[in-house]
Amino acid sequence: MRILVLGSGGREHALVWKLRQSPRATKVYCAPGNGGIADDAECLAADLKSLDSLVAVASQLRPDLTVVGPELPLTLGVVDEFTRRGWPVFGPTKTAAQLESSKSFAKEFLQRHHIPTAHYAICDSVDEVRAALPHFHPPVVVKADGLAAGKGVVIAQSKEEAVGVAADMLSGKMVGEAGSRVVLEECLKGDELSFLVLSDGERVAPLVAAQDHKRVDDGDTGPNTGGMGAYSTAAIIDDKMRDWLVNHIARPVVEGMKAEGAEYKGLLYCGLMMTVRGPMVLEFNCRFGDPETQPILMRLESDLVEALEASIEGRVSDGDFKWSSDASVCVVMSSGGYPGTFDAGKKISGVGEAAKINGVRVFHAGTTKRDGAYYTSGGRVLGVSARAPELEIAVRRAYDACAKITFDGAHYRKDIAARALKK
């Protein structure tokens, strides 16, 4: 079976790594991939921003299965186009992917289907922002409506700051076209939770839960990022809460999308806040999360290919996944300056030594490889991941591995999973 993974980040490296383990996988390709992915799959040149480019790659390759990693190809309609051509592809259609590509669409969808979420207002101008703010108490969350690679969310500590942030978004200064509309939200308090389910358009099967760390610095300080680390344990939620999330959030989303003529097939990532009022939806992603995919897949013990095919073919069941009771963690090593400006081309040392630590796997995110050496090429560079029978051991292994890896300007949080360890 020839499998094509679209993408170039740490999530895609984890997907390649897991898909290769299937006895049905004879060859795995990745377009465009990165320096580390090239060690595990054949990388093919492709432009993720161009539907024509992705079609050209698949036309030449004719894969038996294509797995879409990042959000942009989904919003371009890659699943629609591949399906039209009869090529098996995992992921939602362009219409269904609006749950991620438009925060205003998602908020209005949640309201229509009575799914719990924060109070909000949708604004197309600074005047509308000013008119809506009296209905909010600071801090106020300001979100760009469109895709902003995890950087389109700002928690404004005052209403004046909220106006300024919204003005920067609406003007295009902050996140370009993604900020042409903004969503104001009440700031929810609690622990964030990443809850993912596999869907075939009707049925859903939950994956193990994970917790992401969005802020760039320790103590959840600094600007939001695409994610600086994540962990997954059996203790994050119990069976009763898992079933509640399936029945009151995930399944109503899938049923609601079908009722509105946008059948949802693929991976639905529910970003939740566990508040005193109960679980509330913060956001949706229409694909595997990054860096949650790394620790989640490290706990997966069943065949990922079989599960993804079940989604495509309309036969998802609760038995699609088998999980280890071990804990897992991913610590993201980033370029200095991320999520702002940063320099690329820094030589990376120590990856091989880090990978020798028991239970450790180093997933590449923003790297290239030249003359046998790895170099930085992105904001998030590596996802240093580890699995162990206990979270404390997994965390120690991951940080021992991070200590062996060096590159100029390397930055990583020192408190991934710290709150869980304290509990």
CA 200 to the chain's CA centroid: 19
Q: How confident is the model at residue 374 (pLDDT cuts 50, 70, 90)?
A: very high
Is 142 in contact with 166 (CB distance < 8 Å)? yes
Residues 200 and 144 in one domain: no
What is d(CA 116, CA 247) in angstroms, rounded to the nearest whole number? 12
* CATH code of the domain containing 361: 3.90.600.10
Does 108 fall in a domain?
Answer: no
Q: In terms of residue numbers, what domain contains 26? A: 2-95
Strand segments, DSSP code E, in 210-319 are 211-212, 215-217, 221-224, 229-232, 265-275, 278-285
Per-residue pLDDT at 99 exceeds 80: yes
* Cα within 13 Å of Cα(235), Cβ side: 12
Read off the pLDDT of each residue in 401-422 and give the average, rounded to a whole number. Answer: 97
Q: What percent of the chain has pLDDT over 70?
A: 100
Q: What is the pLDDT of residue 343?
A: 96
Does 109 fall in a domain?
Answer: no
Tokens, residue 408? 């100029």
Per-residue pLDDT at 365 exceeds 90: yes
Residues 306 and 337 in one domain: no
Residues 297 and 364 in one domain: no
Residues 292 and 360 in one domain: no
Tens-place pLDDT, residues 30-64: 999 999 999 999 999 999 999 999 999 999 999 99
**String of DSSP letters for 306-328:** HHHHHHHHT---GGG--B-S-EE
Tens-place pLDDT, residues 215-274: 999 999 998 899 999 999 999 999 999 999 999 999 999 999 999 999 999 999 999 999
Tokens, residue 96? 């269904």
Does 383 fall in a domain?
Answer: yes
Report the DSSP beta bridge partners of residue 329.
231, 386
Q: What is the pLDDT of residue 319?
A: 79
Q: How confident is the model at residue 318 (pLDDT cuts 50, 70, 90)?
A: confident
- Single out the residue of 404, 377, 407 nearest to residue 10, CA to CA: 377
Does 171 fall in a domain?
Answer: yes
Residues 312 and 197 in one domain: yes
* CATH code of the domain containing 247: 3.30.470.20
Domain end call among 186, 212, 234: 186
Tokens, residue 201? 């358009």
Residues 203 and 298 in one domain: yes
CA 317 to the chain's CA centroid: 23
Residues 217 and 295 in one domain: yes
Phi and psi at 121, nearest 5°, equal: -145, 140
Is 366 in contact with 291 (CB distance < 8 Å)? no
Tens-place pLDDT, residues 340-364: 999 999 999 999 999 999 999 999 9
Which amino acid is present at 374? Y
What is d(CA 137, CA 117) in angstroms, rounded to the nearest whole number? 16
In this structure, the dihedral spanned by the alpha carbons of residues 307, 312, 315 and 316, taken in order and rounded to 10 degrees, is: 50
* CATH code of the domain containing 27: 3.40.50.20
Domain end call among 320, 347, 370: 320
CA 104 to the chain's CA centroid: 19
Residues 137 and 57 in one domain: no
The helix (H) or strand (E) run that includes residue 147 is none
Domain count along the chain: 4
What is d(CA 183, CA 286) in angstroms, rounded to the nearest whole number? 19
Does 65 fall in a domain?
Answer: yes
Does 114 fall in a domain?
Answer: no
Domain end call among 320, 335, 362: 320
Q: What length is written for the chain?
A: 423
Residues 8 and 62 in one domain: yes
Residues 66 and 139 in one domain: no
What are the start-end ranges of the H helices in 90-178? 98-101, 103-112, 126-132, 159-171
Per-residue pLDDT at 13 exceeds 80: yes
Does 251 fall in a domain?
Answer: yes
Tens-place pLDDT, residues 139-161: 999 999 999 877 789 999 999 99
Residues 156 and 38 in one domain: no
Tens-place pLDDT, residues 166-219: 999 999 989 899 999 999 999 999 999 999 999 999 999 999 999 999 999 999
How big is the chain by its Cα radius of gyration, in Å? Answer: 20
Residues 204 and 311 in one domain: yes
What is d(CA 220, CA 413) in angstroms, rounded to the nearest whole number? 9
Q: What is the pLDDT of residue 148?
A: 86
Does 62 fall in a domain?
Answer: yes
Mean of per-residue pLDDT scores for the chain = 96
